[in-house]
A and B are shown apart, each in its own frame.
Chain A
Amino acid sequence: MGEFAIGQGVPRFEDPRLVRGGGRYVDDVALPRMAYGYVLRSPHAHARIRSIDTGKAKAAPGVLAVLTGSDWEAAGWRDLPVPGGMKRRDGSPSYKPRFPALVKDRVRWVGDYVAFVVGETLHQAADAAELIEIDYEPLPAVTATANAAVPGAPLVWDDCPGNVCFARFEGDKTATDAAFARADHIVKHRFVINRVTAATMEPRGAVGDYNVADGRYTLYAVLQRAQGYRAELAQVLGVPESMVRVVAGDVGGSFGMKSAIFNENPLTLLASKLIGRPVKWTGTRSEAFLGDAQGRDNVTDAELALDKDGNFLGLRVKSLVNAGAYLQPGMPAFTGNLGTLAGVYKTPASHVDVTVVFSNTNPMRPYRGNGRPEAAYVIERMVDLAADELGLDPYELRRLNMIPPEAMPFKTSVTFTYDCGEFEKSMDIALKMADVNSFEKRRAAARKRGKLRGIGLSFTIERAAAGGFEGAEIRFDRSGTVTLVSGSHSQGQGHETVFKQLVCDRLGLDPNEVYYLQGDTDQVFFGEGTGGSRSATMAGSAFHLASEKIVVKATQIAAHLLKLEAADINFADGIFSSAKTNQTLTIQEVARAAADPSKLPKDMEAGLVSNAVFDTDTQNFPNGCHICEVEIDEDTGEVEIVDYNVVDDVGTVLNPLLLHGQIDGGIAQGLGQVLMEDIRFDADGQLLTGSFMDYAMPRARNTPAFHVESNPVPTKTNPLGTKGAGEAGCVGAMPAVANALVDALSVLGVKHVEMPATPERIWRSIQEARAG
Chain B
Amino acid sequence: MSLEETLAIELTVNGERVESTVPVRQHLVDFLRTELGLTGSHIGCEHGICGACSVRVDGAVVRGCLMLAVQADGAEVVTIEGLTDSGEIADLQEMFVERNALQCGYCTPGMLITAAELFDIGLPASRENIREFLSGNFCRCTGYHAIVDAVEATLKQRLSR
Q: Do chains A and B touch in the complex (CB under 8 A)?
A: yes
Q: What is the interface of chain A, defined by CB distance below 8 A to chain B?
A: 11-12, 14-16, 18-25, 27-28, 30, 60-62, 121, 123-124, 127, 198-203, 250-253, 255, 282, 284-285, 491-494, 657-658, 660-661, 664-669, 691-693, 697-701, 703, 705-706, 729
A661-B142, A703-B143 given; 16 more Cβ-contact pairs under 8 Å: A11-B98, A18-B102, A21-B109, A22-B40, A23-B106, A30-B37, A123-B26, A202-B104, A252-B42, A252-B106, A285-B44, A492-B105, A665-B141, A666-B143, A693-B47, A700-B130
A700 touches B79 (CB 8 A): no
Please provide the chain B residues from 96 to 150 with a CB less than 8 Å away from any CB of chain A in the complex. 96-100, 102-109, 112, 127, 130-132, 134-148
B145 touches A15 (CB 8 A): no
Residues of B within 8 A of A667 (CB): 143
A664 touches B143 (CB 8 A): yes
Residues of A within 8 A of B33 (CB): 27-28
Minimum CB distance partner of A13 in chain B = B97
Q: Please give the distance in Å from B128's CB to the nearest CB on chain A.
A: 8
CA distance A744 to B3 in the complex (A): 62
Minimum CB distance partner of B50 in chain A = A692
Given the interface contacts A21-B40, A22-B40, A661-B100, does A200 sit within 8 Å of B140 by beta carbon?
yes
Residues of B within 8 A of A251 (CB): 104
Residues of B within 8 A of A25 (CB): 39, 42, 106
B141 touches A253 (CB 8 A): yes
Q: Please give the distance in Å from B157's CB to the nearest CB on chain A.
A: 16
Residues of B within 8 A of A285 (CB): 44-47, 50
B146 touches A201 (CB 8 A): no
Residues of A within 8 A of B127 (CB): 705
CA distance A666 to B143 in the complex (A): 7
Query: Which residue of A21, A121, A493 has the most chain B CB atoms within 10 A of its CB atom?
Result: A21
A201 touches B142 (CB 8 A): no
10 sample A-B contacts, Cβ–Cβ < 8 Å, listed by A number: A19-B102, A21-B39, A253-B141, A492-B102, A664-B143, A669-B140, A692-B45, A699-B138, A700-B139, A701-B135
Which residue in A16, A22, A494, A668 is a CB contact (below 8 Å) of B143?
A668
Query: Which residue of B52, B102, B145 has the most chain A CB atoms within 10 A of its CB atom?
Result: B145
B143 touches A692 (CB 8 A): no
B97 touches A252 (CB 8 A): no
A60 touches B1 (CB 8 A): yes
CA distance A692 to B46 in the complex (A): 10
CA distance A666 to B103 in the complex (A): 12
Q: Please give the distance in Å from B27's CB to the nearest CB on chain A.
A: 11
**B93 at the A/B interface (Cβ < 8 Å)?**
yes
Q: Please give the distance in Å from B72's CB to the nearest CB on chain A.
A: 18
Q: Please give the distance in Å from A686's CB to the nearest CB on chain B.
A: 18
B97 touches A701 (CB 8 A): no
Residues of B within 8 A of A701 (CB): 131-132, 135
Given the interface contacts A202-B44, A692-B47, does A664 sit within 8 Å of B104 by beta carbon?
no
CA distance A470 to B57 in the complex (A): 47
Which residue in B97, B112, B143 is a CB contact (below 8 Å) of A706?
B143
A665 touches B103 (CB 8 A): yes
Residues of B within 8 A of A28 (CB): 33, 39
CA distance A123 to B46 in the complex (A): 14
Please provide the chain B residues from 60 to 87 with a CB less than 8 Å away from any CB of chain A in the complex. 79-81, 84
Given the interface contacts A15-B97, A18-B105, A253-B106, does A700 sit within 8 Å of B144 by beta carbon?
yes
Interface size class of B (residues with CB under 8 A): 35 or more
B47 touches A691 (CB 8 A): yes
CA distance A453 to B139 in the complex (A): 28
A661 touches B146 (CB 8 A): yes
Which residue in B25, B46, B97, B142 is a CB contact (below 8 Å) of A664?
B142
Which residue in B23, B84, B104 is a CB contact (below 8 Å) of A252?
B104
Q: Please give the distance in Å from A631's CB to the nearest CB on chain B.
A: 15
B81 touches A21 (CB 8 A): yes
**B7 at the A/B interface (Cβ < 8 Å)?**
no
B106 touches A123 (CB 8 A): no
B145 touches A705 (CB 8 A): yes
Which residue in B3, B103, B147 is a CB contact (below 8 Å) of A494?
B103
CA distance A255 to B106 in the complex (A): 14
CA distance A699 to B102 in the complex (A): 15
CA distance A252 to B42 in the complex (A): 10
B79 touches A661 (CB 8 A): no
Which residue in A27, A61, A201, A491 is a CB contact (below 8 Å) of B107?
A201
Residues of B within 8 A of A16 (CB): 93, 97
Residues of A within 8 A of B139 (CB): 201, 700
CA distance A493 to B142 in the complex (A): 10
Residues of B within 8 A of A665 (CB): 103, 140-143
A664 touches B146 (CB 8 A): yes
CA distance A700 to B140 in the complex (A): 10
Which residue in B34, B38, B47, B52 is a CB contact (below 8 Å) of A201?
B52
B138 touches A201 (CB 8 A): yes
Smallest CB-CB A-B distances: 6 pairs:
A21-B40, A492-B104, A668-B143, A252-B106, A18-B105, A492-B103
CA distance A16 to B96 in the complex (A): 9
Q: Please give the distance in Å from B73's CB to the nearest CB on chain A.
A: 19
**B18 at the A/B interface (Cβ < 8 Å)?**
no
A12 touches B42 (CB 8 A): no
**B49 at the A/B interface (Cβ < 8 Å)?**
yes
Residues of A within 8 A of B44 (CB): 201-203, 285
Q: Please give the distance in Å from B41's CB to the nearest CB on chain A.
A: 7
CA distance A392 to B92 in the complex (A): 50
A21 touches B79 (CB 8 A): yes
Given the interface contacts A21-B109, A200-B140, does A703 sit within 8 Å of B49 by beta carbon?
no
B25 touches A123 (CB 8 A): yes
Minimum CB distance partner of A56 in chain B = B1
Residues of A within 8 A of B50 (CB): 201, 285, 692
Q: Please give the distance in Å from A414's CB to the nearest CB on chain B.
A: 30
Given the interface contacts A21-B79, A61-B4, A661-B100, does A700 sit within 8 Å of B134 by beta carbon?
yes
CA distance A705 to B4 in the complex (A): 50
Residues of A within 8 A of B130 (CB): 700
Residues of A within 8 A of B131 (CB): 700-701
B52 touches A706 (CB 8 A): no
Given the interface contacts A201-B104, A252-B42, A491-B104, does A693 sit within 8 Å of B49 by beta carbon?
yes
